[in-house]
Structure 1
Amino acid sequence: MAFIAKATLFLLSVAVTVKNSLSFNQTSGIPGNSVSPHVDIHRDRFMNFTELSGHYGFATEEHTVTTEDGYVLTVFRMTGRDCVEFNKSPVLLMHGLFQSADAWLDAGPDAGLAYLIAAQCHELWVGNQRGNYYGRRHVRLDPDRDAKFWKFSTDEMGIYDIPAIVDYVLKNTRQEKLIYVGFSQAVGTSLIMCSERPGYCDKVSLIIALAPATRITNIKSVMLKTIFETVNKLQGVLLSTGVHELFARGALVQGLLGQLCKFRSTSRTICGTGLGLLDAFHPGSIDDDALQLIATHTPAGTSTQTLVRYGQSLKTDKFQKFDYGKAKNLEIYGTERPPVYNLDAATAPVALFYGLNDNVDDIEDVFWLKNQLPNLVEAIQIADPLWNHFDMIYSRHVKKLVYPKVKQYLFNYS
């Protein structure tokens, strides 16, 4: 445990001290970035979402969604190879913390949920939440110069990002409802939308909640817990010294991982072990090709304030809003304590998927959420007893252990 904590603190210190000062040129095809990729025999390791899905025969369009508060997000529409007509309800995939839309492709065409869903002729949309490399733009603010750009956490993602993407998808598909598939943080942001934006839950016919992260009181991951606690404790120092963005793609942490893990000889030892330390070990679940892709896409960047919010979440058994301190809470919320989110407003049907070996989203927190949801249709325990948090999106066994049930729900609610 002590070793993990020390390693985590070192990783965080590297992320803070070098931030964006060192680029590893792995940002090809990202909006607003003209850096060229490395030349490598594993060319697909450095493709963006459109290039990588196209590499496997899927057609993908890039769309731009602007939120009410001015953030510019890239959203992808992905269609199957032989699809002429689509199932009625569009499907929206949303990623977790430190991730981007690319995460849904990292498991490869035989396991990545984006590939599996698009191949079944669902009209698939894959979104990005603010702060990652597909959501690092604003109509007025410059993320490299304006600290105000980074004044957001999951609260703003749920209040602005998810509603804007939902509206965009429904307008472009001329449908009244969509099916929402969220992983980890993206489940929490969808529930924030339902709580804070009246009427938006009515636009969702079903929420498929994969390893949902709302409250994280009982998190077991020493590495993530250390990161959250440290950023929370040091937020004043970090923000006063201009550190508003952490774990950006192309900066030292991700760039180094991308280089070390692009070879099969090192991907399992370095990236497999690292992912296990972040979560729990499940030998052989995530294959070497997936590990190599994960290292080039993750971490994808986020705000310091987002990690502060997770640090705050460790100290409460509630799913609540950002805590600005008593004085500012009174100014913003009208109360000294941050209000809790109204999960009774999450009226959309929810199918909840969880694993028993999840060190990020502990079973006690999953069951807490299960008991709060007013319209839970089913809580599905993945059959493999070693199934952990990141298996839900990256495992080579997704097609066998997760997708059959997802497929059933997609057709039932289309």
Structure 2
Amino acid sequence: MVSKVFLSILLSLNFLETIVGETRALNERELKLVKGYSLDSLLNFTELATEYGYASEQHTVTTEDDYILTMFRITRGKNCHGPIRKPPVLLMHGLLMSSDSWMDSGPKAGLAYLISDLCYDLWVPNVRGNYYSKKHVKLDPAKDYEFWDFSAIEIAYYDIPASIDYILKHTMSDKINYIGFSQGGGTFLMMNSERPEYHDKIRVGILLEPATRLTYTRSQLFRFLLDYYQANLPYLYQIGIYEALPQGGIVQEIAAFLCKNYVIADTVCRYFLSLIDSFHPGSIKTETIRVLMGHFPAGTSVKNMAYYGQALNADMFQKFDYGRSRNLQMYGTAQPPPFNLSAVTVPVVVIHGRNDFLTSPADVDWVSSNLPNVLENYYVVDPLSNHFDVTYSQFTTRFILPKIMEYLEKFSQYRDIYWDFYFP
């Protein structure tokens, strides 16, 4: 009960986001360092890559509906000493996260570092609405509510295809390998259901704790958060609140301020993370908690949060529920139609943990059983493995990376002088 009251207070502070505005200017970094913030919590993707000796690039992607997205690339890992493998790998973040989440646990555990160290050409996108992708050709996110009229469905239909096409064009490849976490896994399935032309552009999809229906979500705090946005969506729109939990906003700033302290990070902040997901002693280092709170939450739309609230009460993986009247206009049916999972013919590997309280094993097993081309539905060996472990655990190399390596190896080749001869 106390945790719900605390969360309600933080959510009410979300109303002040329009006053707070964008993320604080970079010239405040020095002041924050003096106040005890972790340096890594204040660095962006390219700065983190540079700090640890990784060569990175920043790219701009424009979607079919004119959203301007930021995508990063690590061209060669620090510990890659051989030829670069082909095809490129796309690594997609989860809900309320950004590309930074793949680096927050440091070069010995962050998947962005580890996969590039295996000599893969790694691309790390950011979907619309997080702090890297808050631009549009015509719309101003600070003034135009239309900018925020999106959910995971638009991310799937526009953002991921645009990112894939950009990578293929830039690298002159014909396919990619896709790794998606949580929302990044669910949107992969949406895209392949709605846009089957992308089947031929993907060799394998590796889905880490994919978020589809959330019927059996066990986290009460997560349910409370999503129910809040679903129940209050019309009211939030009436008072001009369209953005949810942005980086640089009240909620994120409070979390970063409190968790910069090592003792508080190791106790209060760790406990709060376990309330959202589940308790896994020793998995996430205290320093990682200090760092991740500088980048999380990264922001999304209120509508997207409401969409996941709807998923809590659905027994299918379905489209946005606008209500009976508008559903009839949008879909021709009173109820939102389910995604056609049988149409997802891309080879898929599903990796998940038994102790995940957000995307529960029951829901992940359900979606796996409805896909026609699942190569493996793999449970992490550690029985306490949970949702946040994918991005933040210090044990990534032990429990998650080997399975990722196995399937990337099967669907990749070295890009050497013999490549074009054998694989024209």
Count of matched residue positions in the alignment of Structure 1 and Structure 2: 407
1:405 aligns with 2:403: yes
Deviation at 1:319, TM superposition (A): 0.4
The residue that corresponds to 1:74 in the other structure is 70
Alignment map for 1:43-122 (pairs within 5 Å)? 43-78=39-74, 79-81=76-78, 82-83=80-81, 85-122=83-120
The residue that corresponds to 1:276 in the other structure is 274
2-side partners of 1:252 and 1:110: how far apart? 31
Q: 1:299 aligns to what SS in structure 2?
A: coil
Contact 2:29 2:42 in 1 (8 A): no
Contact 2:196 2:344 in 1 (8 A): no
What per-residue deviation string (whole Å, max 9, x for no partner) do you get for residues 70-120 of structure 1?
110000011212556310110000010110000000111000000000011
Identity of aligned residues (%): 44
The change in CA–CA distance for 1:153 and 1:25 in structure 2 (over 3 A counts) is: closer
The residue that corresponds to 2:248 in the other structure is 250
TM-score (norm 2): 0.93
The change in CA–CA distance for 1:322 and 1:24 in structure 2 (over 3 A counts) is: closer
Contact 1:26 1:37 in 2 (8 A): no
The change in CA–CA distance for 1:168 and 1:25 in structure 2 (over 3 A counts) is: closer
Q: Which runs of 5+ in 1 are unaligned?
A: 29-33
2-side partners of 1:339 and 1:38: how far apart? 51
The change in CA–CA distance for 1:316 and 1:46 in structure 2 (over 3 A counts) is: same
Matched to 1:61, the amino acid is E
The residue that corresponds to 2:222 in the other structure is 224
The change in CA–CA distance for 1:157 and 1:24 in structure 2 (over 3 A counts) is: closer
Contact 1:23 1:252 in 2 (8 A): no
Q: 2:105 aligns to what SS in structure 1?
A: coil
The change in CA–CA distance for 1:261 and 1:24 in structure 2 (over 3 A counts) is: farther
The change in CA–CA distance for 1:60 and 1:371 in structure 2 (over 3 A counts) is: same
1-side partners of 2:71 and 2:373: how far apart? 28
1-side partners of 2:280 and 2:131: how far apart? 29
Matched to 2:238, the amino acid is S
Q: Report the aligned-residue RMSD.
A: 1.5
1-side partners of 2:238 and 2:28: how far apart? 30
Deviation at 1:10, TM superposition (A): 2.4
The residue that corresponds to 2:347 in the other structure is 349
Deviation at 1:45, TM superposition (A): 2.0
The change in CA–CA distance for 1:331 and 1:24 in structure 2 (over 3 A counts) is: closer
The change in CA–CA distance for 1:47 and 1:88 in structure 2 (over 3 A counts) is: same
The residue that corresponds to 1:31 in the other structure is none
Q: 2:4 aligns to what SS in structure 1?
A: helix
2-side partners of 1:115 and 1:290: how far apart? 15
Contact 1:193 1:201 in 2 (8 A): no
The change in CA–CA distance for 1:83 and 1:131 in structure 2 (over 3 A counts) is: farther
Q: Which runs of 5+ in 2 are unaligned?
A: 413-424
2-side partners of 1:39 and 1:307: how far apart? 30
Contact 1:182 1:210 in 2 (8 A): yes
Deviation at 1:131, TM superposition (A): 0.6
The residue that corresponds to 1:395 in the other structure is 393
Deviation at 1:305, TM superposition (A): 0.2
What per-residue deviation string (whole Å, max 9, x for no partner) do you get for residues 27-56 of structure 1?
64xxxxx87564416322200000001100
1-side partners of 2:185 and 2:139: how far apart? 28
Contact 2:23 2:247 in 1 (8 A): no
Contact 1:127 1:165 in 2 (8 A): yes
Deviation at 1:385, TM superposition (A): 0.9
1-side partners of 2:192 and 2:28: how far apart? 39
Deviation at 1:201, TM superposition (A): 2.1
1-side partners of 2:25 and 2:388: how far apart? 23
1-side partners of 2:332 and 2:82: how far apart? 53
The residue that corresponds to 1:208 in the other structure is 206
Alignment map for 1:268-347 (pairs within 5 Å)? 268-347=266-345
1:14 aligns with 2:13: yes
The residue that corresponds to 1:376 in the other structure is 374
What per-residue deviation string (whole Å, max 9, x for no partner) do you get for residues 129-173 of structure 1?
111001111000000000000000000000000000011111111
2-side partners of 1:26 and 1:51: how far apart? 17
Q: 2:50 aligns to what SS in structure 1?
A: helix
Matched to 1:10, the amino acid is I
What per-residue deviation string (whole Å, max 9, x for no partner) do you get for residues 319-346 of structure 1?
0000111221121112221111011121
Contact 1:25 1:38 in 2 (8 A): no
2-side partners of 1:287 and 1:67: how far apart? 37
Contact 1:77 1:124 in 2 (8 A): yes
Deviation at 1:3, TM superposition (A): 2.7
Matched to 1:257, the amino acid is A
What per-residue deviation string (whole Å, max 9, x for no partner) do you get for residues 350-383 of structure 1?
1111111110011110110110111000111111
2-side partners of 1:140 and 1:314: how far apart? 34
The residue that corresponds to 2:420 in the other structure is none
Q: 2:294 aligns to what SS in structure 1?
A: helix
Matched to 1:12, the amino acid is L
2-side partners of 1:322 and 1:86: how far apart? 41
Matched to 1:375, the amino acid is N
1-side partners of 2:199 and 2:119: how far apart? 24
What per-residue deviation string (whole Å, max 9, x for no partner) do you get for residues 284-307 of structure 1?
100012111110000000100001
